[in-house]
Amino acid sequence: MLELLGFADFQVDMSPEPEDGPIGWPGYGEAVRAAVARSGASESVRVGTARIGGVDAVVIAFEFKFLGGSLGRRTGDRIEYAFHRARELGVPVVSLVATGGSRMQQGMRALTQLQRVAREIALTRAAGIPQISVLLDPTTGGGWATLGAGADVVLAAPGAQVGFGGSRVRPADAPAEAYTAEAKLAWGQVDQIVAPSELPEALGRWLRLLSSPGAAAEPPAALGSADLPSSGWDAVQAARSASRPRAGAYLDAYFGWRAEIRGDRAGGVDEGVLCGFGWRGRAIAYAAQCGTATTPAGFRTAARLIRLADRLGIPVLTLIDTPGAANDAAAERDGAGPAIASLFEAVALAKVPITSLVIGEGGSGGALAFAAPGSTWITPDAYFSVTSPEAAAAILKLDPAQAPAIASQLRLRPQDLVELGVARAVVPRRP
């Protein structure tokens, strides 16, 4: 793998250790010598540089044959040095992780290396430097909880064992499938599963996307009808039409290629929210609603995307299309309010420019949370409203049959929103 990436080792001074390690574990020195002979490595990680997809990067590569890729004191030395060099050089960090966790024969001296690693991750994040992890088989314990899960983008090998609990310490009745890369993908903790043969290309694309700051994104052209609605109810019906173009079509037309991030890193995935980075002569981040009620996981994933793009200096495009935020019991349990608040905050604090386009239904606060104040456009077949006409009738205790008339009273048509100053303009249809 490292040879495919053009890897060149750093020369890191290795401080001497007592024969049986820092806590005098019987036979530790002999185990280390056997590990060196078996793996050909002098420690459980190698650190160095590589040029991947035209982008220079610092690489941290675990050697599982060396004591199960365990983290010991000298492992921490090497990882710390690698992150320090990445900040000096201003280049991304790629971690190829294969570890069983902390090195038992070093006791707490081994476990405290996780604090060192976590600090280096945080310092590098604060410096605005991208971090990508690749989860190999296995990635468990502290290696998963620091270098693995702590990266900006997390890739994983198919079928890799991934989990905080290793196979020998987890509950006996725990289902093995819960500790796989595929499960972590389904639960929004991994962004993409990549076959080993495809890894160099995938890393190159991600490094290019995450290392390309730029200016504000221009709003996409409209893909649907070019005709403005004559009434509010016409606007609502046009936005709800099954034939209207959805977010996927807009993203495909706007970008030459793109790569998605997945999930909120807290166990949730909203399939109705697409987030990632696309290439349009430069990198642009995107968060796009797909016409469904947005769940708490969707809001948290969008907030994660915006914060990451902001840290890396990459402009953001948001596409708004939702009847509103999910408001069922499950959404309340999963923190709908805090999740929406988190996205409002991410948008409000972002230093990078955010461009928003309403492409369908703009339903209430669930839509507004995706909108950039002062930088929102709208397509001719969309609307934006304080709530749906039907909900407005219910709230005001009016006959549901009054919904069409209420739609006009709400002034939710594209031209109304421009006149009200909510939208900057109605975007023209794509030639």
Q: Tens of pLDDT along 204-245?
A: 999 999 998 889 999 999 999 999 999 999 999 999 999 999
Question: What does the pLDDT look like over 299-326, one tens digit per residue?
Answer: 999 999 999 999 999 999 999 999 999 9
Q: Same domain for 12 and 67?
A: yes
Q: Same domain for 374 and 270?
A: yes
Q: Same domain for 172 and 259?
A: no
> 């976590």: which residue's tokens?
118
Let me know if residue 323 belongs to a domain: yes
Question: How much is the pTM?
Answer: 0.94
Q: Same domain for 267 and 120?
A: no
Q: Same domain for 78 and 206?
A: yes
From CA 130, how far away is CA 277, in angstroms rounded?
13
Whether the pLDDT of residue 330 is over 80: the answer is yes
From CA 405, how far away is CA 280, in angstroms rounded?
42
Q: Which domain CATH number covers 201?
A: 3.90.226.10
Phi, psi dihedrals of residue 143, rounded to the nearest 5°: -65, -40
Whether the pLDDT of residue 14 is over 80: the answer is no
∠ Cα 424 430 431 (to 5°): 130
Q: Same domain for 178 and 249?
A: no
Q: Same domain for 200 and 292?
A: no
Instruction: State the residue range of the domain holding 352.
Output: 232-420
Let me know if residue 218 belongs to a domain: no
Total domains in the chain come to 2
Among 149, 178, 210, residue at a domain's last position? 210
DSSP secondary structure letters along 82-126: HHHHHHHHT--EEEEEEE-SB-GGGHHHHHTHHHHHHHHHHHHHH
Let me know if residue 117 belongs to a domain: yes
Let me know if residue 87 belongs to a domain: yes
Q: Which tokens is 212 given?
A: 């390309």
Is residue 260 exposed (0-12), middle (13-18) or buried (19+ Cβ within 10 Å)?
middle
From CA 217, how far away is CA 285, in angstroms rounded?
9
Question: What does the pLDDT look like over 22-78, one tens digit per residue?
Answer: 899 999 999 999 999 999 999 999 999 999 999 999 999 999 999 999 999 999 999
90-129 exposure pattern, b = at least 16 Cβ within 10 A, e = fewer: ebbbbbbbbbbbbbbbbeebbbebbebbeebbeebbeeeb
Q: Same domain for 255 and 200?
A: no
∠ Cα 214 340 364 (to 5°): 100
Confidence grade of residue 21 (pLDDT, cut at 50, 70, 90): confident
